[in-house]
Amino acid sequence: MKLTKRSLFGAAALALGIAGFSGAASAQQRVTINIASSHPTANIWVWAMKNVFQPEVDRILKEGGNKYAINWREAYGGTLYKFTDTRAAVADGIADIGMVGTVWEGAAMPLQNVTYFAPFATDNHEMLIEIFDKLTAEVPELKKGWDSQNMVYLSSLITDSYDVYANFPIASMADLQNKRINAPGTSANWLQGTGSTPVDGALTTYYTNIQTGVTQGALSFASGIQPTRVYEVAPHLTRVGIGAMYFGGVAANKAFFAKLPKEVQDAVIAAGKATSKKHGQYVTERSTAALKEMQAAGLKVADLPEAEKAKWVKNLPNIVEPWLKANGDAAKTVLKAYFKELRARGAKPLRNWDEGL
């Protein structure tokens, strides 16, 4: 989808300008950066943009001689673009720097969705951030995925581990038979072979879906379920260990980035790395606190028995194969690199999705 400033802002907003540099009478120069997201700053993917990335850029520039200062124009919470347009908004320069959910960009950026085609790999989301910061810098196929979309990659975004939140307890795979479970996008693949039916949706729809009987549960993660209060209508959490997922990244419009002074470019890159690390730590804090808060409110938590979990994993068809066929050697390279990094860090995936490559 091609976005334009005029279509989103209208003529009046366009007249204000999107990004630019304003000279000042003093030695300090001010640089205007539009920073945006489809989600509010309370969201785990956006919190670090506001609370880490922006102040870190400011700090680096100040301590580096104070030659430049940023005039931040914030457009968080979907005021510039919705979740369906995160890639297009940054690629087309509607936002200078923004949250990009590659999970919604399976056609344009398929390689970035590798974790969604290789579930049950790791529930360590902080490890996942380390891996994708490294892979995006070192694996040409992943780097190209951003570069070809007119974006400069700055920081990795992840989820904590996906599990099942439902209005019924799950002690065995048999309990999932004939149940309808919200499983958005690619995550619908994770229910193949379970006897349940995936129903598309989002965190904003799960509560009503379950409350009205459209579904009986949802595949999701604690840091997303708690603020949307889905646990009120789905008071049973069964930890199945589908794992943490790489969701996308914070990125800059490439043309905008190229025009930035070198000192500002360096500050933006360095701040992106700091944002990755703090994002992981924040998700750990938030998911831990969310689980405690939900349990205090009545959420019942149980672990799916290991034997039953093994059945789930074994009964899954080779869901990565269609993705590999569709994306060729590049997908094989990315999958192998991902699993190599997992094992190098001591992770033990419950299924070797890279087997035979």
The span from the CA of 280 to the CA of 258, in Å, is 28
Q: How confident is the model at residue 204 (pLDDT cuts 50, 70, 90)?
A: confident
In this predicted structure, the answer to whether residue 5 has a pLDDT above a threshold of 60 is no
pLDDT at 121 over 90: yes
The answer to whether 249 touches 98, Cβ cutoff 8 Å, is: no
- Residue 168 near residue 175 (C-beta atoms within 8 A): yes
What's the pLDDT score for residue 16?
Answer: 35
Residue 190 confidence class, pLDDT cut points 50, 70, 90:
very high
Q: Residue 193: is its pLDDT beyond 70? A: yes
Residue 192 CB-half CA count within 13 A: 14
Write out the DSSP string of 171-184: SSGGGGTT-EEE--
Mean pLDDT for the stretch of residues 284-301: 97
CB 138 within 8 A of CB 333: no
Are 349 and 342 in contact by the 8 Å Cβ rule? The answer is: yes
- pLDDT, residue 107, reads 93
Q: Is the pLDDT at 9 greater than 80, yes or no?
A: no
Residue 284 has pLDDT above 80, yes or no: yes
Average pLDDT of the residues in 265-281: 97
| pLDDT over 60 (residue 291) | yes
Three-state secondary structure along 249-280? EEEEEHHHHHHCCHHHHHHHHHHHHHHHHHHH
Among positive and negative, which fits the CA dihedral 277, 278, 280, 285?
positive
Mean pLDDT, residues 139-166: 97
Query: Is pLDDT of 17 > 70?
Result: no
- How does pLDDT run across 80-106, given as a tens digit for each residue? 999 889 999 999 999 999 999 998 899
CA dihedral 137, 249, 345, 241 (to 10 degrees): -150
For CA atoms 171, 225, 155, 64, give the dihedral sign: negative
For 120, half-sphere exposure in the C-beta direction (CA atoms, 13 angstrom radius) is: 21
- Give the residue-averaged pLDDT of 27-37: 95
194-221 residues labelled b (16+ CB within 10 A) or e (exposed) = bebebbebebebbbebbeeeebbbbbbb
Handedness of CA 54, 57, 63, 65 (dihedral sign): negative
The per-residue pLDDT for range 328-350, each reduced to its tens digit, is 999 999 999 999 999 999 999 99
What CA–CA distance (Å, rounded) separates 193 from 314?
A: 9
Mean pLDDT of the chain: 92
Of 201, 190, 40, the residue nearest 116 (C-alpha): 190
Q: Which domains does the chain have, with CATH numbers?
A: 5-109+123-158+246-287 (3.40.190.170), 162-244+293-344 (3.40.190.170)
Structure-token match 């510039």, residue found: 80
Can you give the pLDDT at residue 54? 98
What residue type is assigned to position 42 of the chain? A
pLDDT band at 21 (very low <50, low <70, confident <90, very high): very low
Give the mean model confidence (pLDDT) for residues 6-13: 39
* Rounded Cα distance, 134 and 129, in Å: 8
- β-bridge pairing 236-243 and 217-220: unpaired
Please tell me what DSSP assigns to residue 247.
E
Structure tokens given for 287: 């998911």
* pLDDT number for residue 83: 86
